[in-house]
Amino acid sequence: MAFEYNLEKQHAKGKLHAIERINALVDKDSFMEIYAAARHQCTNFGMDKKDIPYDGVITGFGTINGRKVAIYSQDFTVQGGSLGKVHGEKIAELIEKAIEYKCPVIGVNDSGGARIQEGVDALCGYGEIFKQNVRASGVIPQISVIVGPCAGGAVYSPGLTDFIFTVDKISEMYITGPKVVKQVMFMDISSEDLGGAAIHAQKSGVAHYRAQNEKECFEKVKELLDYIPHFYGDKVKADTKFKFSSKKAKEIQNVLPESSTKGYDIKNVIENVIDDGTFYEIMPEFAANAVVGFGKIEGKTVGIVGNNPGFFGGVLNCDASDKISRFVRYCDCYDIPLLTFVDVPGFIPGPQEEQKGIIRHGAKLLYAYSEASVPKVTVITRKAYGGAYIAMCSKHLGADFVYAWPKAEIAVMGAEGAIGILYAKEADPNVKAQKGQEYRETFMTPTIAAQRDYISAVINPEETRAKVVQSFNFLEGKTSNDVICKKHGNIPL
């Protein structure tokens, strides 16, 4: 018997209903709901008289663009989408099955959290989900869509997944809500300012994409699924209809500004190397001094990383290091080759980032690139200084091919800083200027690095696409033989 969903109650809040969200994601008529008849067994606080259809969460399987997916969608119109024992078991089992069936899991979150009447049974439901989230990590992609409240410990299931999508004015994610903040910290704060979509997209780095409305959000989720393998070992079919405009070769020559101290947008380099219109940026609003995302090269997905000199000179700070490291590890999990564009003046100096732990966060970057055994191609467009040169997928961390543009500057640091240290006691400004010139001529070119075999080739910008294509084609099927027997490493988290 068909169940009548309470659409009006949800629409009155300007939100889609749980089933409408599923329909916005899956191919028409492909959704197979499971356990629609599931009911709670709680008798506390009058619960024995409460019928909660499907225990507040719709679960099942379907297809998106013909490829299978598992989906759960919490229904806020039924007891606030709160999570009781059965609700939790349904989600945990869905993830377990998705691992078995080798398909991504999409979790649509809209819930008041642990069902208060069920007490510890509700908490146990979360525990089961977290355990399955961790089992699934690196086996199948896990995507969380936050379209309502997601409060308390409930945030940790999305927090364990690979990608979190949020929607302006609808998403709320926090460990404790505004009322608790008021009680404990005597602070008035709106839920939007505490854990709204903008906060998590721009400041906390919790969210990977912020949409303006639910429709845009679900379209973006579907688009992502077109880029990524759907399970470990999956081979995404190359899009044979890819396009690459010939005018891009000209455009890429004009990206670098005349002055090496001027910024530019690294996305203008990326767009001129990958197939037309294929850049899918992840976390575009967070740590904009680094850019990460998926793109296609001759129809095949690659993970793209770049320093962005258009923001803070492209320097590496704690947030940029976290953003890049997590993305690199994701790509490595699913055998997505890595293409890195380098223009980096170094790790950021100063007490603020030191106190935040730039050593610990920067170490993640070294760890992630060193550990990644996928094909790795690096292009140094301009600056590559100090530890940041090494960290940004240098040959020393295992890059397979490193290309440098003729204006590349590969050195321990910039000329001013170097001369300031080497000739600190020199009073004559002419001597300092002359030494600065000598330093520039010696190190502010890719020549020495190329002579030492740290650079595979110095190339003109317009050759970049061809070299990248050639390199990735050559590296297809690469296997790493650098495997030391151990349980697992200890990444500096």
Where does this chain bind ligand HXC (CB under 6 A)? 79-80, 82, 112-116, 123, 126, 149, 151-154, 177
Helices (DSSP H) in 228-357: which residue ranges? 247-253, 267-271, 318-333, 351-356
Contact 100, 61 (CB under 8 A): no
Q: How far is the CB of 329 from ligand HXC (least distance, A)?
A: 25
Q: How far is the CB of 179 from ligand HXC (least distance, A)?
A: 7
Distance, CA of 458 to CA of 148 (rounded, Å):
51
Minimum CB distance to ligand HXC smaller for 91 or for 380? 91
Distance, CA of 382 to CA of 261 (rounded, Å):
10
Among candidate residues 24, 119, 138, 153, the one labeled active-site is 153
Minimum CB distance to ligand HXC smaller for 149 or for 446? 149
DSSP at 236: P
Residue 408's alpha-carbon distances to 114, 264, 380, in angstroms, are: 55, 15, 6
- What distance separates the 2 farthest-apart alpha carbons in the chain? 91
Q: How far is the CB of 47 from ligand HXC (least distance, A)?
A: 9
DSSP states along 394-463: -GGGT-SEEEE-TT-EEESS-HHHHHHHHTTT---HHHHHHHHHHHHHHHSSSHHHHHTTSSSEE--GGG
Minimum CB distance to ligand HXC smaller for 83 or for 315? 83
DSSP at 73: E
Q: How far is the CB of 9 from ligand HXC (least distance, A)?
A: 9
Minimum CB distance to ligand HXC smaller for 47 or for 475? 47
On the CB side of 415, how many CA atoms lie within 13 Å of its CA? 17
Whether 148 is a known active-site residue: answer: no
Tokens 């890429």 belong to which residue?
Answer: 252
Q: How far is the CB of 148 from ligand HXC (least distance, A)?
A: 8
- Residue 86: alpha-carbon gap to chain centroid: 31
Contact 87, 129 (CB under 8 A): no
Minimum CB distance to ligand HXC smaller for 81 or for 313? 81
Q: Which two tokens stand for residue 7?
A: 């659409």
Among candidate residues 151, 207, 388, 415, the one labeled active-site is 388
Q: How far is the CB of 461 from ligand HXC (least distance, A)?
A: 51
Distance, CA of 267 to CA of 295 (rounded, Å):
11
Minimum CB distance to ligand HXC smaller for 95 or for 459? 95
Closest residue by Cα to residue 225 from 65, 386, 21: 65
Q: How far is the CB of 87 from ligand HXC (least distance, A)?
A: 11
Contact 125, 85 (CB under 8 A): yes
Element spanning 143, H or E:
strand 142-146
Minimum CB distance to ligand HXC smaller for 149 or for 306? 149
Minimum CB distance to ligand HXC smaller for 179 or for 425? 179
Q: Which two tokens stand for residue 58?
A: 């719709």
Contact 168, 195 (CB under 8 A): no
Whether 152 is a known active-site residue: answer: yes
Distance, CA of 122 to CA of 55 (rounded, Å):
12
Q: How far is the CB of 141 from ligand HXC (least distance, A)?
A: 23
Length of the chain: 493
Distance, CA of 216 to CA of 210 (rounded, Å):
9
Q: Which two tokens stand for residue 57?
A: 């969460």
Amino acid at 8: E
Minimum CB distance to ligand HXC smaller for 80 or for 337? 80
Q: How far is the CB of 214 from ligand HXC (least distance, A)?
A: 17
DSSP at 208: S
Among candidate residues 62, 152, 195, 313, the one labeled active-site is 152
- Do β-strands 172-174 and 280-282 pair in parallel, antiparallel, or remain unpaired? unpaired
Helices (DSSP H) in 145-284: which residue ranges? 156-160, 178-185, 191-195, 197-198, 214-227, 247-253, 267-271
Q: What residues act catalytically?
A: 152-153, 387-388
